[in-house]
Amino acid sequence: MSSISILGLGAMGSALAATLIRKGHEVTIWNRTLSRTEALAAIGATVAASPAEAVAASELAIVCVLDYAAARAVLASAGDALRGRDLVNLTNGTPDDAKSLAAWVEAKRAHYLDGGIMAIPPMIGEAGALILYSGSGALLEKHRAALGALATCRLLGEDPALAALYDLALLSAMYGLFSGFLHAGALVASSGGKVADFLPLLLPWLEAMNGTLPDLAEKIDSGLHSRNVVSNLAMQTIALENIVRASQERHISPDFIEPMRQLAAARVDRGHGGDDISGVVELIRKQK
């Protein structure tokens, strides 16, 4: 079992520390608010008085705080203790955040691995939890036993920005699903219906639509949006317009669906009404 320090004890950081303790690792913890260390200290964690003490205490230090600015501030306060240390950052942020912090850490002569946690705190250490990593593959292999105790590990590549990029891409798809569900629920409720009673219709429908994603992915990758079109964009734009109109008629905000309607209409106006809906990606992509 290895020695690991956890810096940051919010809901996720606490779950990481508790899981490692439960699985037999020697864990040192630090948090700005000392009271958050008490429950973990009671089950075996050692409490560090400072980030420098926490980093110096272990072979591996895991940072899990609010954002990358907070992560950098915590690490900066560790000072010379960073030199030669292995650091894993499991803080949510952007690809540029990750690339910048990786360069900063490496300038301090420390070893850096960036990660994106694709799980909620109760899932940590359980089947189904996934953490995406990018950066030093050697560092991941060195600490795979400890990191694997938290979740399945998936290395995306040596570019430290990749974990943050894929993390946010997965969250984007999730929030797109949630926004569609919330809008659909508002429509159903507007007629006095129960959203729970709507689920037996919705869930099989979403599962069926998931089957179209491989084809759409191929069209996005190839740029061939007019190939094997079943429901063209002009027709789908009419459906989007009707969703917006129905929402307005029932005093429901169309804010979730309106951006998609605008993009689809703009694509049709540019002469691509015969393409698949995948063609909308060409408007989402900004020209460099």
Check residue 12 and give its pLDDT: 98
Show the domains of the chain with their CATH numbers: 3-165 (3.40.50.720), 211-284 (1.10.1040.10)
Q: What's the chain's average pLDDT?
A: 97
Q: Is the pLDDT of residue 15 over 80?
A: yes
Check residue 2 and give its pLDDT: 85
**Sheet strand arrangement including 26-30:** 46-47, 26-30, 3-7, 60-63, 86-89, 111-118, 130-135, 152-155
Q: Is the pLDDT of residue 227 over 80?
A: yes
Check residue 1 and give its pLDDT: 63
Q: Mind listing the pLDDT tens digit for each residue in 161-182? A: 999 999 999 999 999 999 999 9
As a whole number, mean pLDDT of residues 14-21 equals 98
Sign of the C-alpha dihedral computed for residues 164, 167, 170 and 173 taken in this order: negative
For residues 30 and 49, what is the distance between their CA atoms, to the nearest angstrom?
A: 7
Q: Is the pLDDT of residue 156 over 80?
A: yes
How is residue 36 annotated by DSSP? G
Confidence of residue 267 (pLDDT cuts 50, 70, 90): very high
Check residue 287 and give its pLDDT: 61
For residues 186 and 189, what is the distance between their CA atoms, to the nearest angstrom?
A: 5
Q: Mind listing the pLDDT tens digit for each residue in 80-136? A: 999 999 999 999 999 999 999 999 999 999 999 999 999 999 999 999 999 999 999
For residues 22 and 14, what is the distance between their CA atoms, to the nearest angstrom?
A: 12
Q: Is the pLDDT of residue 145 over 70?
A: yes
Check residue 286 and give its pLDDT: 76
Q: Mind listing the pLDDT tens digit for each residue in 43-71? A: 999 999 999 999 999 999 999 999 999 99
Enter the pTM of the model: 0.94
Structure tokens at 37: 């260390």
Q: Is the pLDDT of residue 288 over 60?
A: no
